[in-house]
Structure 1
Amino acid sequence: LLVMSAPVAAWANAWTPPPLEQTATPRRQDAVPASNTNCCVGAEGVQMIKDDIANDGVTHVMIAACSRRAKVEAFNIPDVAITRANLREGVIWIRPDTDENRETTQEMADDYVRMACAELKSMGIPSSSGEQELNKNLLVVGGGITGMTAAIEAAAAGYPVHIVEKSGALGGAVGSYYKIIPTRAPYDAPEENPVPGLVAAIEGNDMITVHLNRQRGQDRRRPRPLRGRYHH
């Protein structure tokens, strides 16, 4: 069914594999035959996959079943390249279950499996990153209302924040407004500009550092040390 440079196993949940003579290349001796189970996302099916990985040296797995957005934890198997052919949501659930449409449904399923196999061929075996020290400093690009609000909320959650703004002041275009359009009921009068209050909150927050007059690519060769709270 699959021809790979490394052992491969494929599990079919609701798909009938084509005969081997329909494949473009004969089966390699180091390929693992496809396995079939009634429910590969259940405990028994997942264990079958893990057993094949442990016993047959499988390094690449293609699962013909549900969407890769479902059962994420069940198929979180380390040191193995895994992809899926989404037969459930992509084929079975959208096709009428009639004799008239059955042949086309089978062809669609075959195509999904072929695409998943093609993807698997280019996938490498994931390597464990091990324990790493996390950098919890957050970067906010843009010092307008949205950027300032995001920085204030992130700092309140305990994260050091750096705001990078291309102009010489925070606030963006709204910073020059006298008042702004109403944002809450009864929407019958302009509201005070929130920018001065946001700027004051940032200036009084030691968790937030502001970098003004910064453009993309600036200081690429010799980055400046981040000292102080305002950098021009």
Structure 2
Amino acid sequence: MIRTKDIFKSFDEKEVLKGITTEFYQGKTNLIIGRSGAGKTVLLKLLVGLLQPTSGEVWYGDTNFFNLNKKEVRAIRMQVGMLFQASALFDSMTVEENIRFPLDMFTNMTYKEKRKQVDSCLERVSLSGVNDSFPSEISGGMQKRVGIARAIVLNPRYLFCDEPNSGLDPKTSIVIDELILDITKEKNITTVINTHDMNSVMEIGENIILLYQGEIAWRGHRGEVLESDNETLQDFIFASPFLQRLRESALGK
């Protein structure tokens, strides 16, 4: 589990996060949603230590992340997998080299051991046999799955996903959502997903927080979304006429 306690973050005089206190549960898909500028990306960066809070705490289990020394921070980061919005694969590296990169950085495994781990991760994301391909030679959806394979290659306890469905078609987005959900359950990972994808919210949103102007405006799970009378959530979720009709149908109106 990851907990935040009274997180504030300002850039110059602009306050972006205003007292965020919440929990991200182990074995669940925890979603951070909200409009552009709500503070989603800043919160995600704070959780992984890419930014320092102006004040407040981030706890990994019983460990206050921002009280750790460099060696202790490195130990935590070895337990973290990260899926970036644009996959962030190295164009000059093969698929295998991309996935192997964290193993090269953080372990003393032999090449044979690394190759076995890479093959296992590729099999898990249904991409066996593409080891020698370059990112430019595979589709966007395949690149995203390679990104997931790299994110789980160290068998992380925590998985962070920044807009995992960005740039993907609806069918491929569903595949990525299901893959992230399955891996979360199989490995009992604390998974945190920054997204604005409504399919993700309704299909895999087990623990959801809605940010609005730097504050938590609503929290719940996917089963509560359509029935909620929270105005900020309604404005965000039911922006399109189609979704508004869907909600009215669900409520029997």
* TM-score, normalised relative to structure 1: 0.27
Higher RCO, Cα 8 Å, sep 6+: 2
Bigger Cα Rg: 1
* TM-score, normalised relative to structure 2: 0.25
Which is richer in helix? 2
